[in-house]
Amino acid sequence: MLFFYKRLLPFKQVFKWLSHSPKVTKDFTMREFAFEFRTGAYQRYNSYGSVDEFKQSVINANPTRFEVGAVYAVNPKERKNLPKTAMKPESKELVFDIDLTDYDDIRTCCQKTDICKKCWKFIRVGSKVMDAALRDDFGFKHMVWVFSGRRGAHCWISDPRVRQMNEVTRKSIIDYMDVLASKQSKLSSKKPLLVKRPLHPHVERSLEILSEEFVEIILNDQDPWFTAPDTASDAKSWTQIEELLSFLPDNKLQQELRSKWKSSSGISTSRDKWEDINVVAKSVLKSTAQANQLLDARKDIIIYYMYPRLDVEVSRQVIHLLKSPFCIHPGTGNVCVPFDPTQNISGNSQDDSYGFNPMTAPNLRILQKELDSWEQNSPSNDSDKKLADYERTSLKPYVEYFSKFVNDMITDELQGISKRAREEDLSF
């Protein structure tokens, strides 16, 4: 762990990202950092005056991970000398957290903390949906997706407008995004539809994105409604099938399908069943109104199974702490690398279809090996080529991606500042 902090973790980039400037600003010095130690101890309210102090402190403390909190009105480390009321959180990035454990009822490939390439696709499509909404609807520009190290992803949004938002506004964005908030009430109360019609443009667009991948992710990969008589997996499939049926509008249609599937003696995949719905519906549903209801129901099903499931608490609170990018996940040894949801940056062509492949993400052990082998293979006279250590490992593309993101953000930030300054000049 220590070698990672000393040699690989790109403190400079993380610092610039949090400072919103190449220089030290209040956004960095008044920012809370928290350490978690191997013993389970948790140390809050650390703050640092410079990037070197920050790095040195992390190296000295050698925590299992460090978390990023809010920017306060006063210096967090001096909070004991100040009245409680002075510790007001002033700004923070808006964060979204998607966690695959929330998908356990629909995942058939893995459960709990396990993940694989198949279920990562939920995150991939989820991040697409979120990205579109955050950019197009809310007009945010500077957001970065970060692998959480095990089974989820975080999205950090750094636009100045976002950082200033109070909790009411944050909550309103979360509610806007959290289309499945009514998921629980839908299941208990059997409302006819999950989302109201006509579909809100955000839901409509999300549906388009999800529909493109529905066949691949749900019908092929997850195959939750797969049944083969007399196998162990049947029980879970049938609860899933009952849930699927509960979405359908017509009682008769539900019954017909149920008896058809119950009586089938062979293997029946989700894809077969999805097609069955249409086939049976043709004979059962008479009016176009009913057919439209079914169409709406099918849309609901797609949204229900694939729309990103958000952990809202993380996003709502300004003071909430979240693991910093480039930390190590203590359980897996994976580096929490930023990734690009639209394209693969690992350089490994096998990962192209995943955007980001959590199974081959940079890992502490691998990085150590890479560093060691580089040192053995390259003669010491190579030192004239001033390479940073991370550039000798598979961490390189991720740091570069992050650097580019941070630099773009800072360029905009500085433009914003000089623009404001100009406007102020004009007013005199």
Partner 1 sequence: MFRQPKRRTAGRKNFDLPQIYHEQSYKSRLSMYDQPPLLEVTLEEFELWAIDRLKVLIEIESCVARTKTIKQTEAAIKPLLLKYLPLSPATASNQAIVDAERKKDYYSHFILRLVFCRNEELRKKFVKNESILFRIRYAQLQPKEQQEFVDSLNDKLSWTYISSEEKRAIVDKLYAATGAAIRTVLMADSPDTATMTNEQIKQRIATHENFIKLPFEKVPNLTSSRSVFIQAGYAYIPTTMQLSLLAVDFQENLSQMLIRTFQSLPRLEEDDRLLPLLNNLSQNFSSYQYDAAQYGEAKSDINAISITKPAITRHYPLCASHVQKNLVANSHLKYDARSQLSLFLKGIGLSVDEALKFWADQFTKGASGITMDTFNKNYRYNIRHDYGLEGGRINKRPWDCARILQMTTPRSSSGQYHGCPYKTFSADVLTHNLQELGITDQHEINGVIDQVANNEYTHACTRVFELTHKNELKGTKAEEEMHISHPNLYFDRSRQLERAATEKS
Q: Does 161 bind partner 1 (CB under 8 A)?
A: yes
* Segment holding 87, helix H or strand E: none
Q: Does 175 bind partner 1 (CB under 8 A)?
A: yes
Paired strand residues for 155: 96, 145
Calpha distance 389→372 (Å, rounded): 11
Are the C-beta atoms of residues 179 and 195 closer than 8 Å to each other?
A: yes
C-beta of 138 vs 274, nearer to partner 1: 138
C-beta of 180 vs 217, nearer to partner 1: 180
Are the C-beta atoms of residues 77 and 47 closer than 8 Å to each other?
A: yes
C-beta of 188 vs 263, nearer to partner 1: 188
Beta strand pairing call for 143-147 and 94-99: unpaired
Reduce the DSSP state of residue 75 to 3 states and report it: coil
Determine which residue in the list 87, 173, 337, 410 makes contact with partner 1, applying CB under 8 A.
173
**Which residues within the stretch 322-351 sit at the binding site for partner 1 (CB under 8 A)?**
none
Give the list of residues 6+ apart from residue 225 with CB closer than 8 angstroms, or none.
237, 240, 241, 244, 268, 269, 270, 273, 274
- List 27, 36, 97, 351, catalytic entry: 97
Q: Does 306 bind partner 1 (CB under 8 A)?
A: no
Q: Does 419 bind partner 1 (CB under 8 A)?
A: no
* Segment holding 201, helix H or strand E: helix 201-214
What is the smallest separation between the CB atom of 308 and partner 1, expressed in angstroms?
Answer: 15
Determine which residue in the list 74, 116, 199, 364 makes contact with partner 1, applying CB under 8 A.
199
Q: Which of these ranges, 58-66, 68-76, 163-171, 361-369, lies near partner 1 under the rule CB under 8 A?
A: 163-171
Are the C-beta atoms of residues 249 and 294 closer than 8 Å to each other?
A: yes
Helix, strand, coil percent content, the chain, rounded in steps of 5: 55, 10, 30
Is 32 one of the annotated active-site residues of the chain?
yes
Q: Does 157 bind partner 1 (CB under 8 A)?
A: no
- List 27, 32, 300, 389, catalytic entry: 32
Give the list of residues 6+ apart from residue 376 with CB closer than 8 angstroms, or none.
none
Nearest-Å Rg of the Cα atoms of the chain is: 25
Q: Does 139 bind partner 1 (CB under 8 A)?
A: yes
Determine which residue in the list 6, 112, 191, 197 makes contact with partner 1, applying CB under 8 A.
197
Q: Does 202 bind partner 1 (CB under 8 A)?
A: yes
Q: Does 137 bind partner 1 (CB under 8 A)?
A: yes
C-beta of 170 vs 392, nearer to partner 1: 170
- Catalytic residue numbers read 32, 97, 99
Residues of this chain that interact with partner 1 (CB under 8 A) are 136-140, 161, 165, 168-169, 171-173, 175-176, 179, 196-204
